Amino acid sequence: MKTGPTPKYRYTLRMKVRDYECDLQGIVNNANYLHYTEHTRHEFLLAERVSFAQLHEQGIDAVVARITISFKQPLHSGDEFLSCLNVEKKGVKYIFYQDIYRLPDYELCNRAEVTTVCVVNGKLSAGIDILDKIANQDEP
C-alpha cells in the first residue's frame, strides 16, 4: 500500500462519496467528479481568502474554458478520497491540475486539467491580481 500521493500538491481536501452521487452502475456518476473538482477549487480559493461567490458579486467571474479528465478507477458508496490541486498561470489562463485519490490505498481515481479564465464585467481579462498572486506562488 502506498503511503500517500507521490506528486506534491498546493491544496488537498478530504471528501467522502455521498450515496446520491452514485448512479445505477453503483459507482459515482462522472458528472460528480466535476462537482468534486469545482468544490476543491473554491475551497482552495477560500483558504487563500478569495470567495468565488463574492468575486461574482463584484462582476468578476472565473469561468472554465476547457476540462480534460481521465477516469482511472471508480469511486463507490462509502469511499473516502483526497481531492488534490496544483495551479499555474499561462498567458491569460489559470490551469488547475486536479487529482483524486481513493483512501486508504491512495489509488489514483482520476486526473483532470481544468483551464479557467477570468471574465470581468463580461470581457475576457488578462487575469486579476489576487489570483495571479496565488497562481505564482512557489509550489510546496
**Residues making contact with a copy of itself (CB under 8 A):** 18-20, 22-26, 29-32, 34-35, 38-39, 42, 46, 51-53, 56, 61, 63-71, 74, 76-78
Closer residue to a copy of itself in complex, CB, 122/140: 122
CA dihedral 63, 42, 135, 123 (to 10 degrees): 20
b/e map 76-103, b = 16+ CB within 10 Å: eeebebbbbbbbeeeeebbbbbbbbbbe
Least distance to a copy of itself from the beta carbon of 139, Å?
25
Least distance to a copy of itself from the beta carbon of 133, Å?
21
For residue 9, what are the contacts with CB-CB under 8 A and spacing of at least 6? 84, 85, 86, 99, 140
Closer residue to a copy of itself in complex, CB, 47/136: 47
Closer residue to a copy of itself in complex, CB, 57/138: 57
